[in-house]
Amino acid sequence: MDEKRSSFSSSLGFVIAAAGSAVGLGNIWRFPYLAAKDGGGIFLVVYLVLALTFGFTLLITEVSIGRKTKQSPLTAYGVLHKKWKGLGVIAVIVPFMILPYYCIIGGWVLKYFVAFATGNGLEAAEDGYFKGFITDVNAPIIFNVIFLGATIFVIYKGVNKGIEALSKILMPILLILVIGVAVFSLTIKNGETGRTGLEGFMVYVVPDVSGMGVKDFFIVIMDAMGQLFYSISVAMGIMVAYGSYFKDENNLVKSVNQIEIFDTLVAFLAGVMIIPAVYVFMGKEGMTGGPGLMFIVIPKVFAQMGRIGNVLGAAFFLMVLFAALTSSISVLEAVVSSLMDQFKISRRKATITEGGIALVIGTIICLGYNKLFFNIKLPNGSDAQLLDIFDYISNNILMPIVAIGTCILIGWVVKPKTIIDEATKNGERFGRKALYIAMVKVVAPILLIVLLLGAFGVFGK
């Protein structure tokens, strides 16, 4: 069945949906942790510079590829150059691998939202609560099914009635919640230690170069660049898919700039939400990476706030839930649109097929914390279970490979003019043209190769 290709109703619809994809779990737990670890304001400055150069290059490239070819990631690269079909295959493997475990983590967020919304925030903050939950055989699978089901429902409804309609509702609410919790975080004070939210804010934004050498600064650059993958949804096929629904007459350059601004703003505000609050109640040493920050440290912070902690905790995890959902639907759409374009099947059949596969894989990953538990050491030195292995392969290996391949294809095979012409087809101004050419041909590939080598442990722990 060959369905007529949908499109976003307007530039605003595209920007909101793409920003919804970009604003996800990576912004909310990973960005604040890295900022706290990497010298506060130093990380913020490096991230901003990279967002305006490296991030812009990858983002506008992928959106332009999608709009030019009117194809999903699986088939778009082959349309640009028939010998590069393989890159499209790798590009769609990324969201295929990410979807199952992303929905599992979405299920974790849903569990914590329910805990705080029902007044059980103190229980959720207890030592061992998170471990007890994820090692349970049934509960994580149940919450995963609910979250995955919601994701499938939205994609089943389509581009306009599903993705765009939901994004227009959730994104304004998410922004209000982010601003509200961030403002409150700045006003709190610890009666015992005297630490204030404003002091925590200064820890976040003031550059700290004490003891920072060349190697440390290199780590900051690599952390910020890795974070950009999480933040702007590049190298996972999503922006190619969304770009294919972007109307030819709309201003592509302006829309990409708006996505960058919105995503960076929310990432910054996530730090304002989390770092001052954690600093007030747990000091600078309270910041930990990954799930530890979201599901162990933050609940303890809310528990120390008294009665209002349950309300704020519910608001916080509702906001995270919205961010996770808008991202998970974009991950699923990248796969569904690829199945539709490659095999000429209906949206209904593609969604149900991929949803069923994600459910099976997700269930196996959930069992990786109990029935199928094992622990291995990854090349980058970290310990890993099943979920961590899926994350490592997709994010640390395949995404840089896709990005490197995209840069080579555009920079040296079909040439940067292909993207520049697509982005300016209505007479728009391409303000960073010279920068874009230099980035896509030389700078970005070098940075990406270094990032990939780091994932293989070349530079040590």
Compute the distance between CA of residue 108 and CA of residue 299 in angstroms, rounded to an integer: 13
pTM for the structure as a whole: 0.95
388 Cβ partners below 8 Å, 6+ apart?
378, 382
Residue 124 lies in a domain: yes
Residue 445 lies in a domain: no
What's the confidence (pLDDT) of residue 1? 44
Can you give the chain as a three-state secondary structure string?
CCCCCCCCCCHHHHHHHHHHHHCCHHHHHHHHHHHHHCCEHHHHHHHHHHHHHHHHHHHHHHHHHHHHHCCCHHHHHHHHCHHHHHHHHHHHHHHHHHHHHHHHHHHHHHHHHHHHHCCCHHHHCCCCHHHHHHCCCCHHHHHHHHHHHHHHHHHHHCHHHHHHHHHHHHHHHHHHHHHHHHHHHHHCECCCCCCEHHHHHHHHHCECCCCCCHHHHHHHHHHHHHHHHHHHCCCCCHHHHHHCCCCCCCCHHHHHHHHHHHHHHHHHHHHHHHHHHHHHHHCHHHCCCCHHHHHHHHHHHHHCCCHHHHHHHHHHHHHHHHHHHHHHHHHHHHHHHHHHHHHCCCHHHHHHHHHHHHHHHHHHHHHCCCCCCCCEECCCCCEECHHHHHHHHHHHHHHHHHHHHHHHHHHHHCCCHHHHHHHCCCCCCCCCHHHHHHHHHHHHHHHHHHHHHHHCCCCCC
Residue 373 lies in a domain: no
Q: What is the residue range of 162's domain?
A: 11-368+388-428
Residue 435 lies in a domain: no
What's the confidence (pLDDT) of residue 30? 86
Distances (CA, A) of 48 to 30, 96, 360, 423: 16, 29, 39, 23
Tens-digit pLDDT string for the chain (461 aa): 445 778 999 999 999 999 999 888 888 888 998 998 898 899 999 999 999 999 999 999 999 999 999 999 999 999 999 999 999 999 999 999 999 999 999 999 999 999 999 999 999 999 999 999 999 999 999 999 999 999 999 999 999 999 999 999 999 999 999 999 999 999 999 988 999 999 999 999 998 888 888 989 999 999 999 898 878 889 999 999 999 999 999 999 999 999 999 999 999 999 999 999 999 998 877 876 666 788 998 999 999 888 899 999 999 999 999 999 999 999 999 999 999 999 999 999 999 999 999 999 999 999 999 999 999 999 988 899 999 999 999 999 999 999 999 999 999 999 999 999 999 999 999 989 999 999 999 999 999 999 999 999 887 65
Backbone CA torsion sign across 108, 112, 118, 122: positive
Residue 456 lies in a domain: no
We report the CATH number of the domain holding residue 270 as: 1.10.4160.10
Query: pLDDT for 344-396, tens place per residue?
Result: 999 999 999 999 999 999 999 999 999 999 999 999 888 999 999 999 999 99
Q: Which of 21, 414, 459 is nearest to 405 (CA)?
A: 414
Q: Which of 337, 256, 274, 308 is nearest to 55 (CA)?
A: 256
Residue 5 lies in a domain: no
| Phi, psi for residue 2 in degrees, rounded to 5 | -110, 100
165 Cβ partners below 8 Å, 6+ apart?
157
Q: Buried b / exposed e across 158-192, counting CB within 10 Å, b at 16+?
A: bbeebbbbbbeebbeebbebbeebbebbbebebee
What count of Cα atoms within 13 Å lies in the side-chain half-sphere of residue 41? 10
Residue 447 lies in a domain: no
Residue 382 lies in a domain: no
Count the domains in the chain.
1
